[in-house]
Amino acid sequence: MTPPVFLVPALPAGEEFVLDGPEGRHAATVRRLRAGEELVLSDGSGAQVRCVVGEALKDSLRLRVVERWTVPEPAVRVIVAQALVKGDRGELAVELATEAGVDEVVPWQAARCVAKWDDGPRGAKALARWRATAREAAKQARRARVPHVAEPVGTAALARMAASAAVTLVLHESAADGVKSVSLPAAGDVLLVVGPEGGITDDELVTLTGAGAQVVRLGPTVLRASTAAAVGLAALGVLTDRWR
């Protein structure tokens, strides 16, 4: 099993390091790591160091750095525009997409979204939950990079993103073409658009396809808004060099 990953604001510059704070407390008291065991420290932006535990203290670990490396960004980056989903299914969507390798998540306030994020504390709290979910899922998946969760956008802003992406794919059950039929780039951003449980409206489809988006389906079944992104990311992982 690969060593567990712990996120720190800055990686140690020297060969010795004390992992304390919430991550150190989790490593020492929850994971109960002991002398001789290994872990990986990550800054969430690709840089990582492998460490050996020298001593386990009450709420921290004394570590010795044994290896350093940096994981580059993939040539093909996948950005998921995830429509807001009611309840904790939005956080589930972020969790699954992070485990499947998403590079960025953009919350989309689609017309048929039941969930609404206002501009006040309630919306900020919801966004913070998505960001915390991405962080924890990245650690669980042993990822070197924590995907960025952007500020929410409306359809007009999403169309501008679609126009600037190398490829934009809108997942829709009415599409005649599957994702395998799309010519995917060797490099650049692929924007994957996932609609709400109530579906993407005809007007939204017109706006997005007018900006260059392609409407595709993943398979013969209709997926939930909370799982579609993860399935789409798996397909893109196989159809591009992302998983090679």
For residue 27, what pLDDT is reported? 96
Q: What HEC string does 21-50 produce?
A: HHHHHHHHHHCCCCCCCEEEEECCECEEEE
Domain total in the chain = 2
Span 59-118, pLDDT tens digits: 999 999 999 999 999 999 999 999 999 889 999 999 999 999 999 999 999 999 998 898
For residue 87, what pLDDT is reported? 85
| Domain of residue 37, CATH code | 2.40.240.20
Token code pair at residue 106: 């953009």
Q: Are residues 91 and 187 in the same domain?
A: yes
Let me know: does 146 contact 169? Beta carbons within 8 Å.
no
Q: Are residues 124 and 144 in the same domain?
A: yes
Token code pair at residue 160: 């501008």
* Domain end call among 40, 70, 100: 70
If 0-12 CB within 10 Å is exposed, 13-18 middle and 19+ buried, where does residue 129 land? middle
| Domain of residue 129, CATH code | 3.40.1280.10
Within-domain flag for 157: yes
**Nearest one of 210, 224, 183, 214 to 83, comparing CA atoms:** 224
Q: Are residues 80 and 130 in the same domain?
A: yes
Handedness of CA 99, 105, 110, 113 (dihedral sign): positive
Token code pair at residue 163: 């126009």
Span 10-40, pLDDT tens digits: 999 999 999 999 999 999 999 999 999 999 9
Query: Can you tell me the distance from the alpha carbon of 155 to that of 87, in angstroms, rounded to the nearest whole number?
Result: 22
Query: Residue 139 contacts by C-beta under 8 Å, 6 or more apart in sequence?
Result: 4, 5, 6, 7
Q: Are residues 106 and 53 in the same domain?
A: no
3-state secondary structure of 68: strand
> Does the pLDDT at position 125 exceed 90?
yes
Within-domain flag for 244: no
Q: Are residues 60 and 100 in the same domain?
A: no
- Helix-helix angle 89-99:228-239, to 10 degrees: 10
Query: Residue 131 contacts by C-beta under 8 Å, 6 or more apart in sequence?
Result: 149
Within-domain flag for 177: yes
Q: Are residues 62 and 34 in the same domain?
A: yes
Residue 51 domain boundaries: 5-70
> Does the pLDDT at position 119 exceed 90?
no
pTM of the shown model: 0.93
Query: Can you tell me the distance from the alpha carbon of 48 to that of 163, in angstroms, rounded to the nearest whole number?
Result: 34
Q: Are residues 112 and 22 in the same domain?
A: no
Q: Are residues 62 and 82 in the same domain?
A: no
